[in-house]
Amino acid sequence: MWWNYSLFMEEDFIGLLKSGELDDSLEEVFRQFRDLSPKLQYELISYVKEKKKLVEVSAVAEGLGIRQRVAEGILSNGFKSFSFPAVDSEGKGVEVKAIVIKDLQNTYSNLEGLKRYIKEVEAFLRGEGLIEGSLGVIFDRNITGRSFQLSLALALYPERIPDELCFTGGLDKKGNILKVDGLRAKESFCKEKGKRLINPMELKHIGEVVGWFRKPFVEVPFLVSKDTNTRLEDLGEVERTLKYIKLFHGIQREELELYTGRLEGEAWKEVCIRFNTALRELEGKLKNRLKLSIAINGPATLAFALGVLYTSKKPFIFNHFVHGEGRYFPIEVVHTRELKELVEDFEHTASELMDRGGKDIAVILTGAHHASIRDVESFLEKQGISADILMLKPLREQGNIPPELHKHIAKEYATGIQRVKESKSYESIHFFFSVPISIAFMVGTAYGHYGHGYIYNYEKNTYTKVLEIGFLRSLIEKGQ
C-alpha cells in the first residue's frame, strides 16, 4: 500500500520511524523527502545515520534531488549532531537541531537558502584541515540568516564543548565571529533550558573558543587573604583568564577570592569549609580541568590545613610572595605525587629527633625565622602531652630561603615526617610552624588527611590548637 507520509502527524511519523515500523519502506519515504517538513527530514536522516540503516542510494538521490555520489556520501560519511538557539516568527527563542555530514562531493541542505552560508563555513574548515570536501546540513525547522554558522563549525572540531553552552553567531572564511540579532530572546530561551548563551559580542574569533577547550587544564588564580589589600591582579596577568572562566563556565570573580579576616575560634574551621567548598565547585564548573594557581596571605598554619584539603592529583601553582622584590614567584607542582614521593638524599634540610619516650610525635617545621624547641617543649608539658619532638630545618640561613628551593624543602620535610611515623607507632601527631607559607601548603598536600593529629598556631607568645586532622578529613569525605 502506498502512503503519503507528508500527511502523517509529525508525532505519529516519528513514533513509527523510531520503532522500526518504517524500516521496510525507507526507500519510499526517501522518495517523498521533499514533501516532508524539515523536522521529519531531520528525523529521517538522523535515524538512518544513527541506526546505520541500509537504504537504496537511488531512492535517496531521487528524493533529495541530488547526484548519486552525493547520496552515497550522505548515507556513508561521518556525521555530527548539533543544536543552536534561534528566534521564531513570533520573536520567541527556540532550539534548532541539525545534523552535519562531512566530505560530500557538493554542498547540500534541506534549506536551500542557507547553502551560501554553509559554503562560507566549508571554506574556513578546509583551511583548518578539518574537512576535505563539502558539507551536508539538515535542519529540523525553517530558519533564515547565518546565526547557525558558529555552532556548525564548532560541531566539527574534535574539542569537547560542554553541553550547557549555547552558541550563536556568524562566521566568515577566516574564522572571525560575526554579530547576529535576537540575542535577548535566545538568551532567555537558553536560560529556561538550564543552559547559558555565549554572547558572540564577547568573542572575536572561533579560535578563542577552540583554544580554550583544547587546554587539558585551566589555570585559575585563587587568593586566600587575611585582608582586602591583596587582590587577584597581584598574581599577574589574570584579566584574560577571568574573562573566559566567566564567559564559558559562569565563574565569578568573588568565587576566587577568600578573605579570612582575623582567625580565631571557629573562624579557622569556617575558612577551611569555604576553601573546600570553593575547590569542589570550581572543579565541577571546569569539568575536572582545574589547575589551581593559589596565593595565601595569612599564617603558615592555615596554609598547611588548606594543603591537606587540596586532594586533587592535578598540577597546581603556589605563588610565593618575595618581599624583597615585591612580586610573586610561581612554584609549579606537576602532580601531587611529586610531593609525596620519598627522597633518598637530604640536600637542603636537616632533622633532629628528640626521643622523650612519648606516645605522640610533635613536628616543628622551621624556615621563616627562629623557632624555639624549648617553646614547644614547654607548651607540651603544660598541656600534659607526652610526645617525642621532630625538628625539621633548612640547611641554609632561615628566613632567606630562595623560592626555587621551597618545593625541594617541602619534599624533604614530608619524607622526614613519613620516616619518623614509620619508625614508631605514634598515637597522634602535633604540628607547629615557623616556615614559609608555600612550604607549609606543600607539606600539607604531601601529608594528606590520614591519621590522628592536631594543628597549632603561634600567637601572643603561645601556641593554640586551632584544627584537627580529623576535621579536615571529614570535610573531604563528606564533600563539604
For residue 199, what is the domain's CATH number? 3.30.230.10
**405 and 384 inside one domain:** yes
Domain closes at, from 213, 240, 255? 213
Strands across the sheet with 453-459, in order? Answer: 349-354, 387-394, 360-366, 429-434, 453-459, 462-468
**324 and 284 inside one domain:** yes
Strands 360-366 and 429-434 come out as parallel
List Cα–Cα distances, 269 to 264, 266, 287, 395, in angstroms: 9, 5, 27, 34
- Distance separating alpha carbons of residues 76 and 81, to the nearest angstrom: 15
- Distance separating alpha carbons of residues 405 and 397, to the nearest angstrom: 13
List Cα–Cα distances, 328 to 147, 234, 236, 417, in angstroms: 44, 8, 8, 28
- Distance separating alpha carbons of residues 39 and 47, to the nearest angstrom: 12
- Distance separating alpha carbons of residues 135 and 309, to the nearest angstrom: 50
**191 and 277 inside one domain:** no
- Distance separating alpha carbons of residues 295 and 385, to the nearest angstrom: 34
The pLDDT assigned to 39 comes to 98
Domain closes at, from 17, 49, 76? 76
- Distance separating alpha carbons of residues 367 and 352, to the nearest angstrom: 14
**468 and 348 inside one domain:** yes
CA atoms within 13 A on the CB side of 327: 6
**465 and 361 inside one domain:** yes
**404 and 427 inside one domain:** yes
**195 and 277 inside one domain:** no
**350 and 430 inside one domain:** yes
**206 and 258 inside one domain:** no
The pLDDT assigned to 397 comes to 65
Beta strands in 18-125 (DSSP E): 79-87, 93-104, 108-109
Domain that holds residue 62: 1-76
- Distance separating alpha carbons of residues 424 and 359, to the nearest angstrom: 9
User: Hunting for cell 556548525 — which residue is that?
Assistant: 152
Name the residue among 318, 320, 316, 319 with its Cα closest to residue 335.
Answer: 316
- Please, which residues have CB within 8 angstroms of residue 204's CB and are 6 or more apart in sequence? 176, 177
Domain closes at, from 283, 298, 333? 333
Query: What domain count does the chain have?
Result: 4
The pLDDT assigned to 369 comes to 66
**305 and 360 inside one domain:** no
**358 and 454 inside one domain:** yes
Report residues of the chain scoring pLDDT below 50.
none
CATH number of residue 400's parent domain: 3.40.50
**60 and 23 inside one domain:** yes
- Distance separating alpha carbons of residues 385 and 404, to the nearest angstrom: 36
